[in-house]
Each structure stands twice: as C-alpha cells, then as structure tokens.
Chain A
C-alpha cells in the first residue's frame, strides 16, 4: 500500500510569504492530486499532475517521479489561503490514497 506523507503538519505564515508544502510517497503512481479543504469543510481539487510542473494563479505544483516527491508552492500568500492542503496519490485503478493534510494559517 502506498504511504503518503505530508510535511509540515501545521504551518503559520505572514501575509506575503512564499509557502512550500511537501508530499512524499512510497510506491509508483499514475498521478498525484493536490486538494484544498476550506475551514468550512468543503474540498476542492487544485491540481492533478503526473510529471513536471503546473501553475494556477499563485499556486504552483511540482512532482519528481524518480524521487517520489511533490511540492505545492503558494507565492505572495494571503489570509484567504488559510486552509488544509491535502496530497493524494492515484494508483493504476484510479483510487486515491490521501495524506493527513497540512494546515496552513496565513496571518495578516
């Protein structure tokens, strides 16, 4: 079974800071997902990637398949970025295995 580890578990940043959240996994995957869980509980998909890098606004996701590692970066962080960020790996049958999440708090 794939083990998905996220770090850090908790992260507090000042508004404007550059943020990095890391995700490591133990076995080969077909894709990696980054999701955001709002304080109210709703979960939305941010990225799906199987190689390289993707960018959406101030969010950047990268993956290194050889090292079994992915990072989520937030540039110019804002208090509205405060949420739990979840990494999930996708196996060959499409099922996801989730990390425990990184709780981000951005202070004004």
Chain B
C-alpha cells in the first residue's frame, strides 16, 4: 500500500493563480480531510469528506474548493491564490469515526504564494 500520497511536494505560485493539490489514498478509507499548518498554530481543518460525493467545510474553508468523485481521491483547489495561503498542506484519511478514526497523513505540500 502506498498509503496517502500528495502531489506536488513543493509549489510556488503568484498571487491570483489557481492550482490543485492532489491527494490520493489506497486504503479504501471513507474519511478524508485537508489541513493547513502554519508556524505557531496547530493544524487547522480546511475541508473534509465522509465519503464519495459528500464534502463539508472545516474551520478555514475560504479560498479553497474540494470535490470527492471517488473514494480514493480528494483534490484541493485554490481558486485565486493569496499570500495568506502560504502554508504546508496535509491531506489525511481514516476509515471512519470513533475507534476507526486513526489518522493517516500524506507527506505534505509546501506552498508559497508570492
């Protein structure tokens, strides 16, 4: 199993550009989430999905869009990048809630917006 994979590992954007961060998992997990990690702050939830076709907003959803057309993939779209979106982005997945909620994280994408 590859686990949770994320691409790209690094990305530099100019303000106003759009891009998609890719996330995929091969563990047949229903739950997938996107977090951002900023210096001095805990991981914050951007969007999450509890299954294919179902997504919802987390704590900091503005400026981001998601979709979940398959169980495996959960891409995160930046619609019009802003310097405030400079961060490290982690995708995570889990089988479900409660005792099934062990989180598996991808390696992260370091994004810089100039």
Contact = CB atoms under 8 A, between A and B. Distances in A.
Interface in B50-74: 50, 58
B103 A95 contact: no
Contacts of B94: 94
A50 B40 CA distance: 27
25 contacts: A31-B98, A31-B99, A33-B101, A41-B108, A42-B108, A43-B105, A45-B103, A45-B104, A45-B105, A88-B42, A93-B97, A94-B31, A94-B50, A94-B94, A94-B96, A94-B98, A95-B45, A95-B58, A96-B45, A96-B103, A97-B45, A98-B44, A100-B40, A100-B42, A101-B42
Contact of A100 (B41, B96, B104, B108): B41
Interface in B17-50: 31, 33, 35, 40-45, 48, 50
Given A94-B97, A95-B48, A95-B58, A45 B42 contact: no
A48 interface: yes
A99 B5 CA distance: 24
Interface residues of B, number: 27
Contact of A48 (B88, B99, B107): B99
B42 A4 contact: yes
A4 B94 CA distance: 21
Give the interface centre of B48, B99, B103, B108 by most chain A CB atoms within 10 Å: B103
Nearest to A90: B101
A44 interface: yes
Interface of A: 4, 30-31, 33, 35, 41-45, 48, 86, 88, 90, 93-101
A97 B41 CA distance: 11
Contacts of B96: 94
B101 A48 contact: yes
